Amino acid sequence: MKKQNYDIAIIGGGVVGTAIARELSRYKADVLLIEKENDVGQGASNSNSGVVHSGFTAPVGSLKADVCMYGNSHFEEICSELDVPYEKTGKLVVAVEEKQIAELYNLQYIGRKNGAELYIVGEDFIEEKEPNISGKAAMYSPNSAITSPYELTIAFAENAHQNGVEISLNTKVVKISKKNSKFSVKTDRGEILADYVINSAGLYSDKIAAFSGEDRYKIYPCRGEYYVLDKNASALMSRLVYPVPPENAGGYGIHLTPTVEGNILIGPSNEYIDSVDNEATTKEVMDKLLKEARGFLPKISREMVIRSYSGIRSKIVPPEMGGFTDFVIEKSPKYDNFINLIGIESPGLTSAPGIAKYVVEMIDKMEKLIEDKDFEKTRKGITKFYELPEEKQKELAEDNPNYREIVCRCENITKQEIIDALNNPLGVQTLKGVKYRARATMGRCQGGYCMTRIIKIMQDEFDMDLEDIKLEGNNSNLFAGQAKGWE
Amino acid sequence: MMKKELVIIGAGPAGLAAALAAYEEGIEDILIIEREDRPGGILNQCIHDGFGLHKFKEVLTGPEYAHRYIDKVREKELEIMTNTIVTELTDEKEIKAFNESEGILHIKAEAVILAMGSRERTAGGISLPGDRPSGIYTAGLAQNLMNLQNIQVGKEIVILGSGDIGLIMARRLTLEGADVKAVLEIMPYSNGLRRNINQCLIDYNIPLKLSQTVIDVKGNGRLKSVTAAEVDEAFNPIAGTEYEIKCDTLILSVGLIPENELSKKAKVQLDDTTGGAVVKDNLETNVDGIFACGNVLHIHDLVDFVSDEAEKAGKAASEYIKKGHKLNKDNIFVEAGSGIGYVIPQVISKEKDQIFSMRVRKPDNDKTIKIAADGKILHEENFEKVNPSEMIKIKVSSEKFKPLEKSTIKVVAE
Ligand SMILES: Cc1cc2nc3c(=O)[nH]c(=O)nc-3n(C[C@H](O)[C@H](O)[C@H](O)COP(=O)(O)OP(=O)(O)OC[C@H]3O[C@@H](n4cnc5c(N)ncnc54)[C@H](O)[C@@H]3O)c2cc1C
Ligand SMILES: Cc1cc2nc3c(=O)[nH]c(=O)nc-3n(C[C@H](O)[C@H](O)[C@H](O)COP(=O)(O)OP(=O)(O)OC[C@H]3O[C@@H](n4cnc5c(N)ncnc54)[C@H](O)[C@@H]3O)c2cc1C
């Protein structure tokens, strides 16, 4: 942290915290974003379905419905400003049995009240649009879309950074107290003072809220496990395919999601767990994912699986209560200028832009924010070389030899893209940092080919020592050192 | 667009042997494309010995074996383009490649030999449960890091899977000072060659635990431990048999997958069992003038057999270049029957003597492999011991096929 005093401190660099940071960077204010991990988006924001929801599950008039609808209608524009992939694929909520059809009409009713465009379609529509999917009827949502959740979080952070927000990674908030008119925010790397605190700490938001006298909410971590299918499976379907949501489960049910990279996700499961940190996957659930997915898409096979992962929802209701709860975005009971965001579970990704606007308006009401004329709303991501037309590829390769070397054979990613990823403005230099920025190691070989090459680039072009090369966190060393043969 | 009579993708043992064989047959306009900075393929990282016993009646290391071919290729001045990766291939045999000095290349070939080798099955591919810390490597990657980059991957090691690469790595890591705690194998038998079990595990007192697998992985950051358990016949963990092994590294030796991404782009038909192309007896795929050999066709345990197969592909490709495509009217389809995992080639003609390459499904003693058609046995051969890890080759003379009426023959192990 570069300074002692800030106007606003944001705790948590997930999609919500970074979206707020970006929204605040439109104004003249000293903003600090504090994140305990060594990159942004390491919580729920990099381990979700990446779906831009159209808002048909939240009750009419809820905050959730409002911010979700705002997000849905602004996502395309935001993604184009920030150079983040976005694809309006549309969604089918499929009734596999006759008796579920009534529930489709119910969903349509709520959704339309929220302002979503929705249609009930028959078997022939499913057959025509998604010939590999089996179902009796479906609700079709043309405005449902997909994005890259990690690229978006990184883009929000980079755009905020470029507009003057300071981002302090590897910094954990351990205590917050009131010191005269300001908040003292103590971290494991020192203390800062701030006029406003925004708590967007996701799974830890209840703990941070406690520093502001807010003790009404408790986080019940609820894990969702996923399977990722090989790109070769992508021909099987092109839209989002969801089941009719199971009653009171507080989730959407295991669904099939095409990703912007061209893979298919199966998941997530719905498991309440004891620890907010337990992102493990389990055999039982993975077996179940495959079984349920085959219920819609019989052609899916185990050989198509290239990876599994999980994300944790920060629910604020225990499993026995289940069902719907609204997002909590409130001033703390003790302090007006301490804003808590608690229970930002799905559709938190979709809602991030709306939440950011909502939070900034809360602050603006307390203290008129002054627009910064220099605000630059666009941010440029890494050039995805292989997606360019051949003429453009040739031009780039002509000038820059780093574009002539394909480092990742599965996704055809060039050396220049790896270098760009390692040169990111936030200064993240881990293997996962490269993965989330340039997609290397994400393909079917999971780094079998490109890892040695990335390591070499880290050593040769960035002077990194073997001991400093990490997968992600500080204690995730990749190697034990030089082999004996070298001594 | 550059034009070539024969383009070979991959300069591993398959690509090199195929090139030399085509040259022997009089084809000189050959280009071998290799994405690494030198030819030799996976052999470059196999610094152990045991190569060449069949082909040269000598015990060679991987690089030595490769050099027998590289030297010849250099002597004949055949062109190897290294640091060049093929990214596109069409059924018209048009190739797009990236070369470090020349940029994007387009090449049109009269015939193509696929010799891209294989990739490894990963943690994701086997749905390894638990945390996802650092310290989990596939065996070939660990071998590459160790032997080519001089990087030590870890100190306390568990190896999952007893394929040959896992066994070789157990020894290699031990020699490097690491503590290899166990090799776990989910099957009731090892998938590795017997000689490797003796020389790499038994000689170093490394326990091989059969019918066991990893059911949980723990570590937040670097790997801390794995939980192992015994499995039943359906490979489900048996409750009560779990135990934890502390380790900082898990090496996966759980299988190789033929690298056929380019083949798919060229509309080459693949076999579900081998993961490689469906080929005729001249190793031609369903696409005219595209041939396949080596690990890209099916996974080999012995490089000597790769070289043999590649020579056949090289010869066939030159014949194709010289004479054009010959339609074969009396095609016979070859099927793997009970007890047999797969048989290559999948399509043969009646006119030629055939060598069938196959693998049995499970290890056994005293098995007879029978090749039958029209309700008659054409050929049978008895084996004292059979093992899925050891490829079986059976030669059958064309005399046997000539009288056939039916268009399918079946291979079974009884
Ligand atoms: C399985 C699953 C599927 C989902 N699918 C979708 C979907 O398809 N569409 C959709 O719209 N939404 C979806 N969501 C919801 C969405 O992912 C979340 O709502 C969103 O990512 C929440 O973002 P966040 O920034 O609030 O939380 P997080 O991303 O968890 O960020 C919180 C950050 O705070 C940091 N932090 C915590 N404590 C401290 C501290 N003391 N000091 C410093 N930093 C701290 C954490 O490290 C973390 O980076 C899904 C969620 C899950 C779990
Ligand atoms: C770790 C290991 C240990 C082994 N130990 C033994 C042993 O002890 N004894 C024994 O007899 N056999 C052993 N084998 C088996 C033998 O080495 C292999 O069967 C043999 O190397 C396969 O040859 P190949 O040419 O088909 O494939 P590879 O050797 O894999 O060669 C394929 C080549 O193609 C290149 N390539 C792939 N795609 C492209 C592309 N798109 N563009 C350009 N180039 C491309 C690759 O870079 C590679 O150089 C071992 C194999 C392995 C993996």
Q: pLDDT tens, A410-427?
A: 999 999 999 999 999 999
Nearest atom, ligand 1, residue A40 CA: 49
The verdict on B79 and B135 lying in the same domain is no
A483 and B152: CB-CB below 8 Å?
yes
* Residues of chain B positioned with their CB less than 8 A from the CB of A280: 129-131, 216-217
A405 reaches B (C-beta below 8 A): yes
Predicted confidence at residue B327, as pLDDT, reads 60
| Ligand 2 midpoint to CA B344 (Å) | 19
Out of B124, B154, B217, the one facing A446 most closely (by C-beta) is B124
Chain B: nearest CA to A95, how far in angstroms? Answer: 29
Q: Same domain, yes or no, for B139 and B239?
A: yes
* Domain assignment of residue A300, given as a range: 87-145+220-315
Cβ atoms within 10 Å of B53's Cβ, excluding its own: 15
- pLDDT tens column, A364-403: 999 999 999 999 999 999 999 999 999 999 999 999 999 9
Set of chain B residues whose Cβ sits within 8 Å of the Cβ of A302: 127
Domain end position, chosen among B192, B224, B252: B252
Which pLDDT score is estimated for B192?
87
In a domain, residue A483? The reply is: no
pLDDT at A487 over 50: no
- B145 contacts in chain A (CB < 8 Å): 452, 479
CATH number, domain containing residue A248: 3.30.9.10
Return the best residue to mutate from A74, A141, A204 for the ligand 1 pocket (most ligand atoms within 8 A of CB).
Answer: A204
Residue ranges of chain B with per-residue pLDDT less than 70: 325-330
Q: What is the pLDDT of residue A253?
A: 85
Strand pairing class (A220-229; A264-267): antiparallel
Q: Are residues A306 and A398 in the same domain?
A: no
What is the ipTM score, two decimals? 0.94
Quote the number of domains for chain A: 2
Mind spelling out the 3-state secondary structure of chain A?
Answer: CCCCEEEEEEECCCHHHHHHHHHHCCECCCEEEECCCCCCCCCHHHCCCCEECCCCCCCCCCHHHHHHHHHHHHHHHHHHHHCCCEECCCEEEEECCHHHHHHHHHHHHHHHHHCCCCEEEEHHHHHHHCCCCCCCEEEEECCCEEECHHHHHHHHHHHHHHCCCEEECCCCEEEEEEECCEEEEEECCEEEEEEEEEECCHHHHHHHHHCCCCCCCCCEEEEEEEEEECHHHHHHCCCEEEECCCCCCCCCCCEEEECCCCCEEEECCCEECCCCCCCCECHHHHHHHHHHHHHHCCCCCHHHEEEEEEEEEEECCCCCCCCCCCCEEEECCCCCCEEEEECCCCCHHHHHHHHHHHHHHHHHHHCCCCECCCCCCCCCCCCCHHHCCHHHHHHHHHHCHHHCCEEECCCCEEHHHHHHHHCCCCCCCCHHHHHHHHCCCCCCCCCCCHHHHHHHHHHHHHCCCHHHCECCCCCCECCCEECHHHC
Q: Are residues A391 and A278 in the same domain?
A: no
Q: What is the CATH number of the domain that holds A421?
A: 1.10.10
Q: Please state, for a pLDDT cut of 70, what percent of chain A lies above it.
A: 98
Which among A406, A470, A484 has CB closest to B98?
Answer: A406
Q: Give yes or no for residue A359 having a pLDDT over 60.
A: yes
Say if residue B192 is in the same domain as residue B297: no
Residue A197 domain-assigned (yes or no): no
Residue ranges making up the domain that contains B355: 333-413
Residues B103, B126 within the same domain: no
Mean pLDDT value across residues A156-172 = 98
Query: Average pLDDT of chain A?
Result: 94
The tally of domains found in chain B comes to 3
Please report where in the chains the tokens 């040269």 appear, as a residue: B56
CB-based contacts of B307: which residues, under 8 Å, 6+ apart?
A: B13, B14, B17, B55, B69
Chain B residues in contact with A293 (beta carbon < 8 A): none
| Residue of B1, B36, B83, B98 to mutate, testing the A interface (most A Cβ within 10 Å of its Cβ) | B98
Residue A155, pLDDT > 80, answer yes
Residue A250: predicted pLDDT = 57
Give the pLDDT of residue A56: 82
Of A289, A315, A341, the residue that ends a domain is A315
Contact A448 B177 (CB under 8 A): no
Say yes or no: B127 and B248 in one domain: yes
Per-residue pLDDT at A486: 47
Asked whether residue A306 falls in the same domain as residue A445, the answer is no
Q: Which residues of A are catalytic?
A: 53
* CA–CA gap between residue A298 and residue A296 (Å, rounded): 6
Q: pLDDT tens, A63-117?
A: 999 999 999 999 999 999 999 999 999 999 999 999 999 999 999 998 999 899 9
Rounded average pLDDT over A39-49:
96
pTM: 0.95
> Using a 6 Å CB cutoff, which residues line ligand 1?
A 11-17, 34-37, 42-45, 48-51, 53, 172-173, 200-204, 224, 268, 311-313, 344-350
The CATH number of the domain holding residue B126 is 3.50.50.60
Which residue in chain B has the smallest CA separation from A302? B125
pLDDT at B390: 87
Q: What is the pLDDT of residue A162?
A: 98
Structure confidence by residue, pLDDT tens digits, A432-460: 999 999 999 999 999 999 999 999 999 99
Subunit contact A476:B133, Cβ cutoff 8 A:
yes
